[in-house]
């Protein structure tokens, strides 16, 4: 079974702190994604990566950056945490065969910024 | 206009009934469509994918796609309380030079005994 592991299930940080959310997958997937999920807004794409060292902005990249130094690891960085970044963060990985793609999600990190 | 739209619900159906979940999308050239199920406090999991116009059946689930109307739906026959969850519609579309998977906000389904 594919396993996508997020480093923390719950995280509490203070405004202005630099926050690192780590995600590791064990299936050699090329594609990795970071989403945030807020009530009524669904899953919104923050950043994605289709290869090592490659990163692309999603729909809401402001206030975030990412790092993908190794294929299995995709990190999300909040440069200076703000209260509006309180959310559930979901990491996912996949491989794409033609148009067929299945995302495998981690268990999520509930981040609270105080 | 949102790229992928769903009615947030809740959609309440009695056990044994057919639950019908709907999704519309804005990008005419989208080719791939997916339904994910998310139980409360859990991560989404893929339950159906559909690429061609018409119906695709998998057990109690049927996905329906109408590209002309930019509409995709999920039917759940013989609904069970264990089907109570949020159902997320996802559409693969080409934006900003890349293919991206865009999710709707989800429809909450409640199946009552």
pLDDT digits (tens, 9 = 90+) for B64-97: 999 999 999 999 999 999 999 999 999 988 777 7
- Cβ–Cβ of A41/B105 closer than 8 Å? yes
Cβ pair B8, B104 in contact under 8 A: no
Collapsing DSSP to helix, strand or coil, B51 comes out as: coil
Supply A59's token pair. Answer: 């729909």
Cβ pair A65, A85 in contact under 8 A: no
Alpha carbon of A93: minimum distance to chain B alpha carbons (Å):
12
When computed from its CA atoms, the radius of gyration of chain A, rounded to whole angstroms, is 13
Place B1 in a pLDDT band, splitting at 50, 70 and 90: low
Which residues fall within 8 angstroms of residue A75, CB to CB, at 6 or more apart? A20, A21, A22, A23, A66, A67, A68
Give the pLDDT of residue B110: 97
- For chain B, say whether A95 makes contact (Cβ under 8 Å): no
- Cβ–Cβ of B102/A90 closer than 8 Å? no
- Percent of chain A at pLDDT > 90 equals 74
Task: Name the residue of chain B whose CA is nearest to A94's CA.
Answer: B101
Q: Which residues in chain B have Cβ-Cβ distances shorter than 8 Å to A90?
A: 43-44
Q: Which of A43, A93, A99 to mutate to test the interface with B (most CBs of B within 10 A)?
A: A43
pLDDT tens digits, one per residue of A25-68: 998 998 999 999 998 888 999 999 988 988 999 989 999 999 99
When computed from its CA atoms, the radius of gyration of chain B, rounded to whole angstroms, is 14
């Amino acid at each position: 079974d594919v396993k996508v592991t997020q480093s923390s299930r719950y995280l509490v940080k203070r405004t202005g702190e630099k926050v690192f959310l780590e995600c590791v997958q064990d299936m050699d997937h090329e594609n990795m994604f970071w989403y945030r999920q807020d009530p009524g807004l669904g899953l919104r794409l923050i950043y994605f990566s289709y290869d090592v060292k490659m990163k692309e902005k999603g729909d809401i990249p402001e206030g975030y950056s990412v790092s993908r130094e190794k294929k299995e690891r995709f990190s999300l960085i909040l440069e200076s945490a703000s209260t509006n970044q309180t959310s559930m963060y979901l990491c996912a990985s996949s491989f794409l065969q033609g148009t067929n793609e299945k995302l495998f999600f981690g268990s999520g990190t509930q981040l609270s910024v105080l | 206009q949102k790229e992928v739209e769903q009615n947030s619900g809740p959609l309440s159906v009695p056990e044994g009934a057919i639950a019908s979940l709907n999704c519309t999308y804005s990008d005419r050239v989208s080719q791939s469509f997916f339904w994910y199920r998310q139980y409360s406090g859990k991560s989404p999991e893929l339950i159906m994918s559909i690429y061609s116009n018409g119906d695709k059946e998998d057990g109690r689930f049927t996905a329906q796609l109408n590209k002309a109307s930019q509409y995709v739906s999920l039917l759940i026959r013989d609904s069970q309380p264990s089907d109570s969850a949020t159902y997320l519609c996802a559409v693969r579309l080409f934006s900003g030079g890349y293919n991206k998977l865009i999710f709707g906000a989800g429809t909450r389904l409640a199946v009552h005994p």
